[in-house]
């Protein structure tokens, strides 16, 4: 039980850190930070989502990616906001892909 709680805590911190970094990285003009968001997205997808939460997360993740993409392009006139949305899409798209792959493997194993 303690191991599962620690695993959830790491995923929760990765999620919080990813969102904060996605906002902060909007002010940095380097592409190297995208890899940090990709790695955090993988950690979120692997450690933060249980099999009971998969369908809810996939729905919410898909909505976040779509709204983030269109929100970033429709609010392009606001300074740094398109970059924040782009970073959030990078984070959430990665974690959504990981959770979707986990779900497919779970379904294939049944």
**What token pair was written down for 15?**
């999620």
Could you list the residue range(s) of the whole structural domain that residue 61 is in? 2-109
In this predicted model, which residue has the larger pLDDT, 58 or 48?
58
Q: According to the model, what pLDDT value does residue 70 have?
A: 80
| H or E element, residue 109 | helix 81-109
Residue 44 token pair: 């979120």
Residues 10-51 pLDDT 10s: 778 888 899 999 999 988 867 778 899 999 999 989 888 888
pLDDT range class, residue 102, cuts 50, 70, 90: very high
The pTM (predicted TM-score) of the whole model is 0.81
Name the DSSP letter for residue 78: S
Q: How many domains does the chain have?
A: 1
């Amino acid at each position: 039980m303690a191991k599962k709680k620690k695993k959830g805590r790491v995923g929760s911190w990765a999620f919080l850190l990813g969102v904060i970094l996605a906002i902060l990285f909007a002010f940095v003009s380097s592409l190297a930070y995208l890899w940090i968001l990709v790695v955090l997205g993988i950690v979120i997808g692997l450690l933060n989502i249980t099999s009971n939460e998969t369908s809810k997360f996939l729905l919410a993740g898909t909505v976040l990616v779509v709204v983030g993409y269109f929100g970033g392009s429709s609010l392009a006139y606001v300074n740094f906001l398109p970059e924040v949305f782009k970073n959030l899409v990078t984070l959430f798209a990665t974690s959504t892909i990981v959770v979707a792959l986990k779900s497919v493997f779970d379904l294939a194993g049944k």
